Structure formats: C-alpha cells, structure tokens
Amino acid sequence: MGRAGPRVTLDDIRDAAQGIEGVAVRTPLRLVPSLTSVAGVPVYLKLENLQPTGAFKLRGAWTFARHLEPAARRRGVVTYSSGNHGQAVAFAAQRLQIRAVVVMPETAPQHKIDGVRRWGGEVLLAGMTSEDRFGRAMELVESEGFTPIPPFDHPHIIAGQGTVGLEIVEALPEVAHIAVPVGGGGLIAGIATATAALRPSARVTGVEPEGASALNAALAAGQPVRLNRTSSIADGLLPLAVGRVTFSHVAELVDAVKVSDRAIAEAAVWLYHHEQVLAEPSGAATTAALRSGVLRPEGPLVLVVSGGNMDVGAIEALSHE
C-alpha cells in the first residue's frame, strides 16, 4: 500500500480536543426512544450538525490551521471541498486572520457556497469531481504559495475529527457500537482511533451511499481503490477513494455498510419531522442505515449526524425523492 504517513495517537486527539476548546462545540448525545424501540438497544444521536459551521469538519480544519507557522499564515491557505470542509476552513482562517480560497464543484449547492463566503472565504468553482477540485487547488499552491488544507487525508485532520470519538466515549463509557458516515474517511479514522484506545470492545461501522462505496471497496481489496465514478444525494460522501492515511487507521478497526439514496432521503425527512434535527443527506446516512435495516446494531449505539447544512425547503423536497 505504500507509506501512509504517521499514525495518529490518542495523545494527538487529546491535544486536538484542548485546541478546539472555545472554537468547536462539544456536541450532545441525544437518546432517541423511537429508534431505541426499533433497534432493541439504546440509540443515541451525536449531533455534529450543531457546530458553528453546521458540521464536524470544523474540528479537523481548526486543528490543521492552528499548527500553521507564521510564514504560512501570511501566504494564506487553499482547500478543495464540496462544502462543509470549505466552510470550516473559511471559519478557521477568518478567526486566525488568514486568507482562504476554497475550490468547490460547479454543482455545489448555493447555500454551501454562501456559507463559505459568510466566513470570509473566497470561492472558485472547478469541475465536478474531487480530483478536479484537487487539481485546481494544487495550481494555486504553485502560483500563489498557499498551504493546502486537505479535507481528510492528513494526521492533523484525523486528530481533530477524532475528538468526536473522544467525546462519545467520555459521555457514554458503555458505548458498544458507533456508526459513522464515510466520504474520504477522516471522521471514521479519528473516531476509530479514539475508540480503539478507550473502548476497544466497541464496534465502529462506516456508512456509505450505494453509489459511493469507496470504503467498502477498500476493505474488500485491502487498500484504497479508486472508483470510476460516485453518485448520491449525499454530496459530502462522494470522494472517488478513501485516503491512504485514513485507510491505514481503519483497515483493522472497522466494518462498513451501504445504504440507498431512497433510505437516506427518508431518514433526513424523518429526523426533521420526528426529532427536529436538521440533517443534510450525508449526516442522515447513519440513521438511514439503521432505519432501513442494513445496520445490525449492538448497543448502546451512537449514530453520528455529521452535518446539517441544508435548508428546510430542501428537506421537504427530499420527501419526493
């Protein structure tokens, strides 16, 4: 598989947790009786949609940005994102008074573009795939001297996202199962690392759309696999491959399931109407896996709601998906 970079440790995650204090929110675990009755085990939601930027991505983006040297801060940063990571980088950069450019897909939802701009980020649109965005960002690294902040495949990002797992185990020491939405794998890598250190008996399951199952493919092959294409309503879960660094952290620690777009849409609508939780499709994927039966739960079970950057009108539109 080749070199994947240094491994993130529990100490790294604890350092990240100290670093995000006063920046990211320590989000609550909410017990959901209706899901508990269906699953037969206690089911909790980890509500990362309540972060200032609407998603867990703030944890990793801030952790990376706060480690930048002064010279790198003066030059500015660039990232490539379908939306949530871009908003997180813009937020962190604004707070640290750093120029930030976010390369987004031409199909990016307007509310996510507006979100980046709200935090002072500059938006450039490039292509349709994560590779298109990456290529344009690397051009800016060469021409402008920006420091790239990757969306998932870096130890600082993984350590920051791992604070989600740290919080889960601290709040629910008896946790037996954590389900995590998976795009590039930064979140599940961090959660799996923290959980393995603190609660090694707990199971960690990645949840992917049927049309974007890069982790499932990687676990089957024993290494990251580049998919020919990805497609899903869960626009935050569409990388063509999981990262090498992220996969090196999860290969022996997690399993994965696939969920249909129909189930994701149903779950997002259900969360909004029954639990008053505004979850974008990516954030609703774990609830979808449970409600559709593809996730065989152990308990207590935590479903990570990774983000909620979606307007109510779009939620209502999902009713017709």
Q: Has 306 been annotated as catalytic? A: yes
Among candidate residues 57, 232, 248, 258, the one labeled active-site is: 57
Among candidate residues 81, 258, 306, 319, the one labeled active-site is: 306
3-state secondary structure the chain: CCCCCCCCCHHHHHHHHHHCCCCCCCCCEEECHHHHHHHCCCEEEEEHHHCCCCECHHHHHHHHHHCCCHHHHHHCEEEECCCHHHHHHHHHHHHHCCCEEEEECCCCCHHHHHHHHHCCCEEEECCCCHHHHHHHHHHHHHHHCCEECCCCCCHHHHHHHHHHHHHHHHHCCCCCEEEEECCCCHHHHHHHHHHHHHCCCCEEEEEEECCCCHHHHHHHHCCCCCCCCCCCCCHHHCCCCCCHHHHHHHCCCEEEEEECHHHHHHHHHHHHHHHCCCCCHHHHHHHHHHHHCCCCCCCCEEEEECECCCCHHHHHHHCCC
Q: Has 57 been annotated as catalytic? A: yes
Active site residues: 57, 306
